[in-house]
Structure 1
Amino acid sequence: MKKNWWKLGVAMGIALMVMAGNCRLDAAAAEAKEGERETGKSSVVKTARQIPIDVSLKMVLGTEAVNKAAEGPGTGDGIKYIENGENADVTDGLETESTEGNEAIKTSDAAVNENEGTEEGSTPEEGAVAVEENAEEIDAYFDDSVFVGDSIMLGFRNYAMKRQDTFLSRMGFLAAGSFSANNALWEVGGESVHPVFQGEQRQIWESISLMGSRRAFIMLGMNDLNITGLDGTCEIYEELIGKIKEANPEVEIHIMSMTYILKGKEAGKLNNDTIREYNGMLKAMAEENGWGYVDVANALADGNGDLAEEYCSDGFAHQNPEAYDVWVSVLREYAGEHL
C-alpha cells in the first residue's frame, strides 16, 4: 500500500492544477465579458485582424480551390506549361524576377484592390462584392483557357505555378522567351522559338487544338515592334489569329494589351508612346472581329503612363509578383463582365 502513496500524491497534485487552471480560465472569461460590456466591442473584430495571409489571398483570388499540383508537359492535368528558356528576346541579358518567381506568397495593395486601373466611379468595395457574389462562376470562366505570349507571359505562368490552390491552376500556357507574332508563323525547325507542348515544339494553333482550349488570351508585340513596326505587327498578329481560328473554329479570342516599359528605357521603336498606339490598334482590331480585349497595361501604369517602378523586376519591362497580382484582379473583373 505504501508503495502506491506516491502515485496517489501525483494524482492529487494534477487534480489541484486542473482546478486552479479552470479558475483562471473562468476569471479570464469573466474579465473579457466585462470588457465587452464596457467597450461595446465584439471580439470578432480582433479575430478578423488575425486572418492568415494565405487565407486573405484566397479570398482575393477566388473561393473555389482546385488543389491540383503542377505537372509537366503532356500530362493534360493541372497547368499545361512549356519550358523554353534558351531563346533570347528583346529583354534578354537582364535578370528577371518574373522568370524565377518568389518562394513566398505575397499580398499587396494591388492584389487587394480589385478596381486597380478600372473606370472612374467604381469603388473597391463594389468590386469586392461583385467578385464574392460570382466567385465560382468567375473561377470557372478560366477552365480550358490558354495564355499565349513571350517572356512577360512566361512570368505569369511561373506566378501561377506557385498558386496551385487557386483558379490559376486551370489555365494552360504557351509562352517562351523571344516569341513573337512574327516568328509564331515560322515553320517549326532548329531555329524556331515556338513554345513546347507535350515534349516538343509545335505551331500555336496545333497546341491549342491538343489542349482542347475554349478561350485563348494572347499577348504579343514586345519582340515585334522593332522589326515589323506598328502596321506590320498588327497585320501579322491578325494573320496568326486567323490560323488559330481556322484550326480551332470554336475557340474564343481575347487579345491582351501589351504592357509598358519603364520611363527612360526606350529601345528604338519600343517606347511607351508606340505601345499606346499599338494597343489602340489591337483594341480596334478586336472590336472589328468580335474578339475580346483585356487592358492590363493601364492597370500597371503610373501617372505618366509608364510601367510603374513597383511592378518592374528588371529595370526594363519584366514584372514581379505584385504586378501579376494586378493581372489577376484585371482578369477576374474581365471574367465577371463576360459571364
Structure 2
Amino acid sequence: MKKIVATLLLGSIALVLAACGNESSSSSPQQPTTRNQGQATESKGSVETEYQALFQNSVFVGDSITECLSFHDVLKEENVLAGAGKTAEFALQDMAELTKRDPEHIFIHLGSDDILWPTDNPKTYSLKNYAKLIGIIKEKLPQAKITLLSVTPVTAEAEELEPRYKNINDYNQGLKELAEKENIGYVDLSPIFSNGSNNLYDSDGIHFKPEFYSSMLDLVKDQVE
C-alpha cells in the first residue's frame, strides 16, 4: 500500500509540474511584441488584479488543479492552499494553516485524486473524509462560508487512459448531496465546458491553461459578492 501511495503522489507531482509549467500552444516567441499585444497584457493584468481583490478574503483548498490558481498568478499564494496529490484525507493536515489564515470564504476543490485512491470504494472513503474536513472547518472557523466545487471533467483521451475518471459524474452527485446535507454551498463547474471545446485543457487532458481559471472564478464569484 505504501508503494502504491508513493507512486500516486509522485505521479501527481509530475502532472502538476508539467501542467502548470506548460505555456499555451498558441504562443509565438518569434513574433515581436506589438502595441496591441502590450495592451492585451495590461488588460490581463487588470483582470487578475480584479480577481485578487474580489477573493482577498477567500482561500481555495484543493489539489494540483487548484494549485495552478496561484502558479498562474490569477490569485495570490495566500489565497490558495493546495498541492499535487491532495485528497480530502490529506487536506485534513492543512487545518492549522487554514485556521491561521482565517478566511471569510473557503472554496474546496478536491476529488480528482480521491477517485483514483486505491481502496474498494473511493467515493465512500473520500466523502467520509470530506465530511470530516467540513466538520472541522465549521468548528475552527464558524464564521467562514464554505463552498464545494465539482470535480472538473477530463478529455475523452484522458478517460481512455484512466477509466476511473468515468466516475466523475457519480462523485459530483455525492458532493452535491453532501453540500445539501451540511447546508453549505455547491457550485457545478461543468457549464464552463458546455460548448464541448477542449481548448481550455493542458496537454494531459486533466489540468488546465490559465484561461480556465478566469472562467472558474467568474462562475463562483457570486459566493463572495
Normalized against structure 1, the TM-score is what? 0.50
| Larger helix share, 1 or 2 | 2
Task: Return the offset for 1:182.
Answer: 2.4
Task: Return the offset for 1:92.
Answer: 2.9
- Tell me how far apart the structure 2 counterparts of residues 217 and 279 of structure 1 sit (CA, whole Å): 15
Q: Does 1:239 align with 2:140?
A: no
Bigger Cα Rg: 1
Q: Percentage identity across aligned positions?
A: 27
Residue 150 (structure 1) aligned to one of 63, 74, 98: 63
Task: Return the offset for 1:141.
Answer: 5.5
- Tell me how far apart the structure 2 counterparts of residues 231 and 221 of structure 1 sit (CA, whole Å): 12
Alignment partner, residue 212 of structure 1: 102
Q: How does 1:269-308 map to 2 (within 5 A)?
A: 270-271=164-165, 273-303=166-196, 308=197
**The residue matched to 1:96 in structure 2 has which SS?**
helix
- Tell me how far apart the structure 1 counterparts of residues 61 and 136 of structure 2 sit (CA, whole Å): 14
Task: Return the offset for 1:319.
Answer: 0.1
Letter in 2 for 1:279: N
Report if aligned partners of 1:299, 1:326 keep a CA contact under 8 Å in 2.
yes
Letter in 2 for 1:294: V
- Tell me how far apart the structure 1 counterparts of residues 55 and 99 of structure 2 sit (CA, whole Å): 17
Report if aligned partners of 1:106, 1:322 keep a CA contact under 8 Å in 2.
no
Residue 14 (structure 2) aligned to one of 84, 92, 102: 92
Letter in 2 for 1:176: G
- Tell me how far apart the structure 2 counterparts of residues 297 and 155 of structure 1 sit (CA, whole Å): 18
**The residue matched to 1:218 in structure 2 has which SS?**
strand
Give aligned pairs, total: 195
Show structure 1 runs of 5+ residues with no match: 1-86, 112-135, 186-202
- Tell me how far apart the structure 1 counterparts of residues 42 and 18 of structure 2 sit (CA, whole Å): 17
Alignment partner, residue 157 of structure 2: 264
Letter in 1 for 2:206: A
Q: C-alpha deviations, 1:67-108, integer Å up to 9, x for none? A: xxxxxxxxxxxxxxxxxxxx5344735763434667984989
Show structure 2 runs of 5+ residues with no match: 1-8, 28-39
Task: Return the offset for 1:216.
Answer: 0.7
Normalized against structure 2, the TM-score is what? 0.73
Task: Return closer, same or farther for 1:97/1:286 CA change in 2, 3 Å cut-off.
Answer: same
Report if aligned partners of 2:153, 2:190 keep a CA contact under 8 Å in 1.
yes
Task: Return the offset for 1:150.
Answer: 0.7
**The residue matched to 2:180 in structure 1 has which SS?**
helix
Report if aligned partners of 1:148, 1:175 keep a CA contact under 8 Å in 2.
yes
